[in-house]
Structure 1
Amino acid sequence: MTPTRTTAPAGRRSSAAASGARTSAKSGKDDGSDRSPKTTKRASADNALAERDADAAEQTMLLVGARIRAMRLRQRLTLRDVAERTGVSVSMLSMLERGVSTASVGTLVAVASALGVHMYDLFAHKDGADPSPVTRLDEQTVVSLGEGTTRRVAHNDAAAGLELAINEYDLGGASGPTATHHDGREFGLLISGELTIELDGQRHVLQPGDVIAYSSDRPHRIANTGSERAVAVWVNLDES
């Protein structure tokens, strides 16, 4: 005798299926079953690229830290000497030299100035046999570090003591966690967005087209306080 199989009424089956669908949707969990091989492959490639970039950034900071330490020792400066010249703590400087801390752009600018160079000089560059008056975009040094700031050094003239950069600040981005100071003068022209420059504890809000100029030995910090990414042209000039 053939066993009798009990079948639920169609209405009940539909109700159960709908309940299961609602439960699945409510859980919001993605088991990956709807991902195509192409999507998975692209995600893997993106992860590999991110890991490679992270490794490259780590290696860069190790080299920069070693270069800073070598410059400091050649000038017979202690970490406390550099701290007094910049406003950057001794512990942060120590971690920077050991390559275990991702410093902000503002910190690197201040430390470089304390050592008598520009931030550009802390990074490796290709030697040009025949210097051209034109610096191509792909030849410019781009530094993207902590605090949501990217600095592209468009031109560096060691003889004139001038560094021309394009600074970009993410929402909430800043030159550093605290104000720093160093030798020289700075000139900034805001291209887009909004920037607040904290200068000697006083706040100056810039709108597109506004320019600010000040002596770099005054404690200063630059922050994006607007509602969009901010872009500015910045010039650092040695007074010597």
Structure 2
Amino acid sequence: MTPSRSAAPAGRRSAAGNPGVRKAGKSDKPAGKSDRPVKHNGNGAAAGAAAPERDSDAAEQTMLLVGARIRAMRLRQQLTLRDVAERTGVSVSMLSMLERGVSTASVGTLVAVASALGVHMYDLFAHKDGADGSPVTRLSEQTVVRMGEGTTRRVAHNDAAAGLELAINQYDIGGASGPSATHHDGREFGVLISGQLTVELDGQSHVLEPGDVIAYSSDRPHRIANTGDEPAVAVWVNLDDN
């Protein structure tokens, strides 16, 4: 049967034709109130519009502290910005902005700068101490940093005595270790867990699929980018020369 043209659109008839149904008005509830429970994140902050603002403020504060640490380490070693730039491939202007906390650095930039100062990226951030003498580093004790260029780095383990840093890196679609290649001391090893990554090494591209492993000297200019169509996760190890 052909439906009548005069039929009311679905969803309107019950409200308009039934006097028992009252439309919600401005007087029903104070403005801004909702029946939905307020969700909170792990820090107890309310989720919603306020959460991104709070996260953004926390990220800015973190970068201010990181920048101050980098500057203090550099001055203690009597290094100029140009000295660090030559060791890393990061421009003097970017290093200056990083020290002043006005730039969200990429993973590659911070790894390179930390290496130039004789430390790991882990040492640039405040982090929780694990249980004394325990061989286990709990997930809650690991340092997680959301970086620029669409990357998140979780430092799962740091062994200063062995000169080793073990991290789990996640790259958003189109994310990368940095806008350009960097270099620093040491060696690094990576295994791709999921997604796809392209490692640019000395200007040559190496595409990694899940299970593939790459190893190279960190003094070769390198950049890591997610060239796939889904987020990528990789385990990365940075090892000092000594």
Q: TM-score, normalised by structure 1?
A: 0.83
> Which letter maps to 1:144?
R
**Distance between the aligned counterparts of 2:190 and 2:75, measured in 1?**
32
Hey, what does 1:225 align to over in structure 2? 227
Q: TM-score, normalised by structure 2?
A: 0.82
User: Among the aligned pairs, what percent are the same residue?
Assistant: 84
Contact (CA 8 Å) 2:130, 2:137: kept in 1 or not?
no
**Distance between the aligned counterparts of 1:114 and 1:62, measured in 2?**
19
Hey, what does 2:171 align to over in structure 1? 169
**Distance between the aligned counterparts of 1:178 and 1:76, measured in 2?**
27
Hey, what does 2:91 align to over in structure 1? 89
Residue 148 to residue 229, structure 1, CA distance change in 2 (3 Å): same
Hey, what does 1:186 align to over in structure 2? 188
Hey, what does 2:126 align to over in structure 1? 124
Query: Displacement of 1:167 after TM fit?
Result: 0.5
CA deviations 1:177-230 (Å, max 9, x no partner) are: 000000000000000100000000000000000000000000000000011110
**Distance between the aligned counterparts of 2:35 and 2:70, measured in 1?**
45
SS in 2 for 1:102: coil
Residue pairs, 1:68-107, within 5 angstroms: 68-107=70-109
Hey, what does 2:49 align to over in structure 1? 47
CA deviations 1:10-46 (Å, max 9, x no partner) are: xxxx8xx99xx9xxxxxxxxxxx9x98246977x841
Hey, what does 1:148 align to over in structure 2? 150
The structure richer in helix per residue is: 1
CA deviations 1:24-79 (Å, max 9, x no partner) are: xxxxxxxxx9x98246977x841111111111111100000000000000000000
Contact (CA 8 Å) 1:105, 1:143: kept in 2 or not?
no
Q: Tell me how large the CA RMSD over aligned residues is.
A: 2.3
Unaligned runs of 5+ in 1: 1-13, 22-32
